[in-house]
Amino acid sequence: MKRKNTKSIKIGSVSIGGGYPVAIQSMTKTKTLDIKNTIKQIKRLKKAGCDIVRCAIPDTGSAKALKTIKKETNIPVVADIHFNYKLAINAMENGADKIRINPGNIGSEKHLKEIIKKAKEFNIPIRIGINSGSLEKDILSKYGYPSSEAMIESAKRNIDFFESEGFFQIIISLKSSDVQTTINAYREISEVVDYPLHIGITEAGTPFRGTIKSSIGIGALLLDGIGDTIRVSLTGDPVKEVLVAKEIMRSLHLYNKGVDLISCPTCGRIEVDLIKIVSVVEKKISKIDKQLKVAIMGCVVNGPGEAKDADIGIACGKGFGLLFKKGKIIEKIKENNFIDRLIKEIENWH
Ligand code: SF4
Q: What is the pLDDT of residues 291-317, one digit of tens each?
A: 999 999 999 888 878 777 899 999 999
Average pLDDT over residues 100-129: 93
Half-sphere exposure of 77 toward its Cβ, with a 13 Å CA cutoff?
A: 29
Q: Which of 263, 267, 272, 277 to mutate to test the pocket of ligand 1 (most atoms within 8 A of CB)?
A: 267
Residue of 225 and 102 predicted with greater confidence: 225
DSSP 197: B
Residues contacting 71, CB < 8 A, separation 6+: none
Confidence grade of residue 287 (pLDDT, cut at 50, 70, 90): confident
Is the CB of 306 within 6 Å of ligand 1?
yes
Q: Which of 296, 302, 308 to mutate to test the pocket of ligand 1 (most atoms within 8 A of CB)?
A: 302
Query: How many residues are listed for the chain in this entry?
Result: 350
Average pLDDT over residues 77-86: 95
Confidence grade of residue 196 (pLDDT, cut at 50, 70, 90): very high
Average pLDDT over residues 115-137: 92
- Give CA–CA dist 211/239, Å, rounded: 13
pLDDT of 275: 95
Instruction: Please say if the pLDDT value at position 120 is more than 90.
Output: yes
Rg (CA), the chain: 23
Let me know if 31 is exposed, middle or buried by CB neighbors in 10 A (0-12, 13-18, 19+). Answer: middle
Q: Do 114 and 91 meet the contact criterion of CB atoms below 8 Å apart?
A: no
Is the CB of 265 within 6 Å of ligand 1?
yes
Is the CB of 270 within 6 Å of ligand 1?
yes
- Measured in Å, residue 297 CA sits from the centre of ligand 1 at 6
Instruction: Please say if the pLDDT value at position 203 is more than 90.
Output: no
281, 307, 313 from 268: Cα distances, Å: 22, 18, 20
pLDDT tens-digit map of 319-339: 999 999 987 889 999 999 999
What atom of ligand 1 comes closest to residue 303's alpha carbon?
Answer: 5
Query: What residue owns the CA closest to ligand 1's atom 1?
Result: 267
114, 215, 293, 320 from 325: Cα distances, Å: 61, 30, 10, 17
- Give CA–CA dist 281/309, Å, rounded: 19
